[in-house]
Structure 1
Amino acid sequence: MQNLVDYTMLPPEQLFGFNSDGSPRIEVSNAAKIAQDMILPVCYRNTPWALTIAHGLGFGTNRAEGLVQLFDDISLWEAIGYEVVSGSFEPKSNISLRRRGDAFPQIFKENLYAKDVILTEVFDDDDAQVDWAARSISRDLTIDELQIEDIMVIVSDSSKFVNIGKKLSAELLKYGVKSHLTGIDTNRDEFFIKDSVVITTIHRAKGNEAAMVYLINSEYGNGKFDLIKRRNTLYTGITRSRAWVRVCGVGVDMLAIKKEVELIIANDFKLNFVVPTDEERKKLRNIHRDRSAGEIRNLENIVKNTGEFIEKVHSGDVPIEALSQDDLARLREILERTREVK
């Protein structure tokens, strides 16, 4: 489930390849037709509140611009522990989902408060974010009596990992807290180190977990392109937490993420969205798919040129009559769709 849509594993023949004689390197026979995998009905690692928000952000259920992605098999919601509060799984239905009471151990409700489990913070710049994270981690260790191995810091945007990680390490030292950047201060096989807070990327965080997770630079999840990959990053980061998670980031994109979280909390941790049709789901996958660096550069240039074009039309340098009727009709259609989203 670290990839929210591709929920089936490739067959072993594709995963491990073939021998020179054409036979598969790994072959799993199942003559008795026994199920070889299953969806576990109870989530023991994540609190129901953090998992709901992880799914909400991962799919974009409360995103102002609409869904980012969704299961092809909509009934999977029930298989992974959700129940329908209202609506149905039929296309175009306004559906409301929440975690079933039997889909998580009651120890979470007995020992944790939902309002403390997940907090979001927005900062003006990276320095303010790093300062806050260091102070919060120090407070976790001193006042809240967490152990160093209870804490994991994940930098959502891998391109910022070294820069942000080193800033945070330096700031933590001011509080007498040691830390390490995985793969930078350690060899590639080391993750948790005694008496040192782990600072890592989302790729290294997979397969690991901690009681308290700091997911920093989470504005990464609200970029213009590659939204499926970016939202999967938020989902994976939040689900590394066994108890508490702090989602923080910088600027207006983080404000949008914070608003999504607050809407889910205000709705008593229910996920509300309109079930898309098969065609709409395919369109989402195409719009928000992973793209190469060259593709992204081209799209950024198109967006830039569009802004320049609008400015030229607005100033009168380019007369509106220069556009064909077909182009004008398409622009009207785009504007209408934008109004519908808002």
Structure 2
Amino acid sequence: MPFFETELLGKPGETGEKKVWDAVKQAYREQDQQGKCTGYWRYPLFTKVGQQRKEPDILIADQDYGVVIIEVKSFNIDNLVAVNGHLWEYKNFYEKSGNPYQQAEDQLYSLFSHFDRERQLRRNISGKVLIALPYITKAQWIERGFDRLPSVPPIIFGDELGRGTLRRTIEEAANILRGEEITAERWHVLLSVLSGKPVIVGDTSMASDNPSTKLEIIRSLTTKLGEMDVQQEGIGKMIPPGPQRIRGIAGSGKSVLLCQKAAHMHLKHPDWNIALVFFSRSLYEEVTAQVDKWLRHFTNGDVCYDDKVKQKLRILHAWGGANRPGFYSFACNLHGVRPLTVNDIRNERIFGMGNSIGYICGQLLEKVPHIEPFFDAILIDEGQDLMVSEQYKHKDKQPFYWLAHKLLKQVDANDDVNKRLIWAYDESQSLDNLTIPTSRELFGPDEAFRSFVTGNHQGGAKKSEIMHRCYRTPGPILTAAHAIGMGLLRPDGMLRGITNKEDWKSIGYDVIRGSFRQGETITLQRPEKNSPNLVPMLSKEPVLQFNRYASRQEELNALAEAIQHNITHDGLSPHEHILIVVLGAGRDATALQKQVANTLQAHHIDFYLPSMRAKNVLSAANYREQNPDKFTDDGAVTISLVSRAKGNEAHIVYVVGADIVAADEANIQLRNQLFVGLTRSKGWATLSGVGNYPMYDEISDVMVARDTFTFEFRRPPVQLMDDPDAASNA
């Protein structure tokens, strides 16, 4: 396991810490390569020290020796006046006194309180604490007589940083907590806890060893051990010293990582103004819950997302509403400008919410030429949905992103470009606009932005991260969604997609055959390891089904009967486990949504339409009777249009209206809808449609192919998804 640096190391005043950290990495290099050790510079576990919170300087987890916390003190021997037990007195140092050993000891106990929640780790892990003095030699310490004092803690001196000596010093230090052997299973659980993954969720006493029903499978999954994803660890816990772009496939955990990163930033820098921005209003509750979870996790429950935290860490919808500020409306209020509403721009006849948000941001930039910087960091989720068409750009730049950049303070007083702007996206989930948020597309041809997200920051943090593993959606559903969304097996050739091996690999596929020359045969395969969802292994029935019907009512009656079976036979919760996604756009999609609702009601199944105040309500008289942030209602099955379903998920997803896509099969936006609908699933998905269309054969061929697709590359796709920023990083 690698060693993680959670923030740039090597700033003024950190040379001593860096000296110790580099020595630790060298000392544990072999164990690291064997997967028996991991370490963190400033692991994000914040315990209170005086009026401030401080994380451990260095944390080491060693499968052979347990957990080690090292507190680094970078002073010279002349700075140390006295050692009175745990109290150390200093002169000409940034503090007059301190309790370095006791502070590190408190951090160790705080970490072990997380371990104690897991039965396999409880009182089974050893732990020790050491103080590192990189600018003091052992001879200097002895000369001052500090070695003869009682209660002197284990110390790593500046002349004991060689690989062998350092390891020996750490291993010979006395344990504060004595545990048992760390077996492979315990090691797996320990790494999961360190990564912050919920190892056990829900009531595991009801889990079955041999699950047969869907509910039993869902419960059994909660007992599976979480896995430390090395890439996720690096992204989620790293505070970059500048911009960072995160490209991740659906279900890769982008949103959770941004919440983790925002919480970590706030605890590390409580004086910073931070914005966590997202596109789908129905995600308010989920995003807030995730941020609250990480704040509590990193502080052992001492800090939550309360009114005080909200003043510095703002969770904002991109636009905002009448009763809740958004990123755009906050920017307007900051500059004394009245925010534009949906009604204000209705006459502009703008297609798509992304274009609408971009338009109003462009209007603000025109009205206020000098935007006052306010935020220290801005994190943007669902970045693909905040892009505009060419006609709505602001001076060749994407207006939402340019406004965000202008609102950011400089990280470096001499650099007005590389601000802490972090955005995550998946271009396959774009519904209105097919523009991919590359740095060139965001900020135009300005040479200053040419390397905005290429290469690494000082200290090694990557400017661009690409997440290729999908944890949410089972492999057969994800690969089908990709293949149908891109049209890989389409008789007339693919509509959108990637045309080089490196970019296919970056989203989790291997190119087995071909190099994307016209007329070539291409074979793609997605390895099982990149889709670790276990439902396909546990389920006795296929996780993906496609059903065709003669009429719409026949389709919807079958849907209602299947859901009735899920509730009565499988024992599933309507609002927790089941989601219906309706394909299509505009009034036709809304009409189909209501038709689905009427059919469920006729079968005595409660339904909920997102934004309604309550279940079993088909429409609202006006917006005052709606709740745009609401997506579910207790005891009711949610019936959602694709645009509202984005960012949400369920164990069983029914995607209705495949014929709408099939009737206009070359429409990339409609194929993207189908992709988004299917990838909401955490377990099973059923796609259905009426009539008979050639595209139905394509869908069937995709399902038969499962994880391996062979097709002729006829011509370059209409929409190219190759990543020029990634190419620059190569």
Q: Give the TM-score normalised by the residue count of structure 1.
A: 0.70
- CA separation in 1, counterparts of 2:399 and 2:499? 22
1:179 aligns with 2:571: no
1:24 aligns with 2:406: yes
- CA separation in 2, counterparts of 1:267 and 1:226? 21
The residue aligned with 1:133 is: 559
Q: Please point out which of 397, 400, 405 is paired with 1:15.
A: 400
Given that 1:62 and 1:273 are in contact with CA atoms closer than 8 Å, whether structure 2 keeps it comes out as: yes
The residue aligned with 2:542 is: 116
1:208 aligns with 2:648: yes
Query: What amino acid is aligned across from residue 182 of structure 1 in structure 2?
Result: P
Q: 3-state SS of the aligned residue for 1:187? A: coil
Given that 1:39 and 1:80 are in contact with CA atoms closer than 8 Å, whether structure 2 keeps it comes out as: yes
Q: 3-state SS of the aligned residue for 2:462? A: coil
Given the superposition, is the C-alpha separation of residues 24 and 270 from structure 1 closer, same or farther in structure 2, using an over 3 Å criterion? same
The residue aligned with 1:41 is: 468
After alignment, is 24-33 or 168-177 more displaced?
24-33
Query: What amino acid is aligned across from residue 476 of structure 2 in structure 1?
Result: W
Given the superposition, is the C-alpha separation of residues 87 and 192 from structure 1 closer, same or farther in structure 2, using an over 3 Å criterion? same
After alignment, is 220-229 or 140-149 more displaced?
220-229
Given that 1:126 and 1:164 are in contact with CA atoms closer than 8 Å, whether structure 2 keeps it comes out as: no
Shift of 1:232: 0.7
The residue aligned with 2:572 is: 146
Query: Deviations along 1:297-321, whole A, 9 cap, x unmatched?
Result: xxxxxxxxxxxxxxxxxxxxxxxxx
Q: Please point out which of 681, 704, 709 is paired with 1:266.
A: 704
The residue aligned with 1:340 is: none
Given the superposition, is the C-alpha separation of residues 193 and 89 from structure 1 closer, same or farther in structure 2, using an over 3 Å criterion? same
- CA separation in 1, counterparts of 2:672 and 2:631? 22
After alignment, is 237-246 or 158-167 more displaced?
158-167
- CA separation in 2, counterparts of 1:199 and 1:7? 24
Given the superposition, is the C-alpha separation of residues 226 and 189 from structure 1 closer, same or farther in structure 2, using an over 3 Å criterion? farther
- CA separation in 1, counterparts of 2:486 and 2:590? 28
Given the superposition, is the C-alpha separation of residues 130 and 13 from structure 1 closer, same or farther in structure 2, using an over 3 Å criterion? closer
- CA separation in 1, counterparts of 2:499 and 2:523? 18
Query: Deviations along 1:176-210, whole A, 9 cap, x unmatched?
Result: 32001113545211001111100011100110011
Structure number with the higher helix fraction is 1
**Structural RMSD (CA):** 3.0
Given that 1:13 and 1:24 are in contact with CA atoms closer than 8 Å, whether structure 2 keeps it comes out as: no
Given that 1:138 and 1:172 are in contact with CA atoms closer than 8 Å, whether structure 2 keeps it comes out as: no
Given the superposition, is the C-alpha separation of residues 266 and 251 from structure 1 closer, same or farther in structure 2, using an over 3 Å criterion? same
Query: What amino acid is aligned across from residue 127 of structure 1 in structure 2?
Result: Q
The residue aligned with 1:275 is: 713
- CA separation in 2, counterparts of 1:216 and 1:106? 24
Equivalences, count: 273
Alignment of 1:244-323 (within 5 A): 244-253=684-693, 256-275=694-713, 280-281=716-717, 284-285=718-719
Query: What amino acid is aligned across from residue 207 of structure 1 in structure 2?
Result: G
- CA separation in 2, counterparts of 1:106 and 1:151? 18
Q: 3-state SS of the aligned residue for 1:105? A: coil
Q: Which runs of 5+ in 2 are unaligned?
A: 1-248, 251-382, 388-395, 409-418, 422-451, 618-625, 721-730
Given that 1:125 and 1:251 are in contact with CA atoms closer than 8 Å, whether structure 2 keeps it comes out as: yes
Q: Please point out which of 487, 511, 521 is paired with 1:94.
A: 521
Q: Which structure is richer in relative contact order (CA contacts within 8 A, separation 6 or more)?
A: 1
Given that 2:551 and 2:690 are in contact with CA atoms closer than 8 Å, whether structure 1 keeps it comes out as: yes
Query: Deviations along 1:138-173, whole A, 9 cap, x unmatched?
Result: 111111222212111111013333322222222222
Shift of 1:224: 3.5
- CA separation in 2, counterparts of 1:12 and 1:83? 34
The residue aligned with 2:494 is: 67
Given that 2:535 and 2:543 are in contact with CA atoms closer than 8 Å, whether structure 1 keeps it comes out as: no
Shift of 1:88: 3.8
The residue aligned with 1:170 is: 598
The residue aligned with 1:334 is: none
Given that 2:493 and 2:712 are in contact with CA atoms closer than 8 Å, whether structure 1 keeps it comes out as: no
Given the superposition, is the C-alpha separation of residues 83 and 14 from structure 1 closer, same or farther in structure 2, using an over 3 Å criterion? same
- CA separation in 2, counterparts of 1:98 and 1:163? 39
Q: Give the TM-score normalised by the residue count of structure 2.
A: 0.35
The residue aligned with 2:680 is: 240
- CA separation in 2, counterparts of 1:210 and 1:141? 14
Shift of 1:80: 1.4
Shift of 1:112: 2.8
Q: 3-state SS of the aligned residue for 2:699? A: helix
Q: 3-state SS of the aligned residue for 2:684? A: strand
Shift of 1:122: 1.3
The residue aligned with 1:314 is: none
Query: Deviations along 1:210-257, whole A, 9 cap, x unmatched?
Result: 11111101122224376111111111111111111111112223xx34
Q: 3-state SS of the aligned residue for 1:77? A: helix
Q: 3-state SS of the aligned residue for 2:546? A: strand
Given the superposition, is the C-alpha separation of residues 211 and 106 from structure 1 closer, same or farther in structure 2, using an over 3 Å criterion? closer
Alignment of 1:217-232 (within 5 A): 217-224=657-664, 227-232=667-672
Q: 3-state SS of the aligned residue for 1:252? A: coil
Shift of 1:45: 0.6
- CA separation in 1, counterparts of 2:501 and 2:675? 18
Larger Rg: 2
Given that 2:481 and 2:675 are in contact with CA atoms closer than 8 Å, whether structure 1 keeps it comes out as: yes
1:196 aligns with 2:624: no
After alignment, is 99-108 or 244-253 more displaced?
99-108
Q: Which runs of 5+ in 1 are unaligned?
A: 287-342
- CA separation in 1, counterparts of 2:505 and 2:662? 27
- CA separation in 1, counterparts of 2:665 and 2:529? 37
Given that 1:161 and 1:200 are in contact with CA atoms closer than 8 Å, whether structure 2 keeps it comes out as: no
The residue aligned with 1:107 is: 534
- CA separation in 2, counterparts of 1:127 and 1:175? 13
- CA separation in 1, counterparts of 2:684 and 2:471? 14
